Amino acid sequence: MPIKVKNNLPAKKIMEKENIFMMDEERAVSQDIRPLYIAILNLMPLKEETEVQLLRSLSNTPLQLVITFLTTATYTGKNTPESHLNEFYKTYDEVKDRKFDGLIITGAPIEHMEFEDVQYWDELTKIMEWSKTNVTSTLHVCWGAQAGLYYHYGIHKYMLPKKISGVYEHHVHHRKVPLLRGFDDVFYAPHSRHTGVNHDEIAACKELTVLADSDEAGELILLSSDNKQVFVLGHLEYDRLTLDSEYKRDLKRGLNPDIPVNYYPDDDPTKKPLLRWRGASNAMYSNWVNYYVYQNTPYEWE
């Protein structure tokens, strides 16, 4: 799929080395088609790493996507150069009068905090409210999914006894739902979080359907009844070595982390991790773009 980004975005060079078609601005304007406009609210501290992961995940559809990266105005992290943010990112105030076909809200490493205590919570709630009228479909990831479930449906999160980290087996429910087309009955997906969501509140919410879950890690994919909100509580976008980097980072910090589950061969961190979720990731992101964005968005926004 052609993804249109700025010509000098660092992630573009990485994608091209992987033979993923990235369209530059000059070529895009010569194509007489209606592209899809996707905004990505990137709340992760290592923004460039997340850019690569999400662009790779979105790269398996023949549709042309125009990507706009968003960041918060009320909080600026220290891990991404300001020059990168100034060149490649916009804030909510700069796009609030626009319409987008899709929006992705990423996770953030702030699980220990109550939602209302997050510095940019008010700004995030404005964006989530704005998405109801200005976005065809919104995909929430990990903490972004917890925040969306809380804001839209009052679903609470809670601290787990210990961190969930690893690649877990999941079961598909409601196979005929388009978001799950191409999925096997059982598939793997990475999780990396210290919190869970309230199962009873989800079960009691008639507007939510659980599409996939794990006996060990809990819910993974949930869908709203109007198909406009998708919640993914794991990290299908993760690269092969993302959990490895997190594990070794926590080791250096003296946190004594558990070895990620079902990740290293023989649970040996010196061995190359197994990549077992790329197929499910490609299927889900392609299905979201095709069935929940492209098939539902208007050709011309009014």
Residues serving a catalytic function are 142, 235, 237
Cα–Cα distance, 128 to 181 (Å, whole number): 27
Cα–Cα distance, 156 to 201 (Å, whole number): 8
CA torsion angle 300 298 130 133 (round to 10): 110
Residue 38's CB is within 10 A of a number of other CB atoms, namely: 25
Q: Which residues contact 229 (CB under 8 A, 6 or more apart)?
A: 137, 138, 140, 148, 152, 223
Cα–Cα distance, 172 to 123 (Å, whole number): 34
Longest dimension (CA), the chain: 56
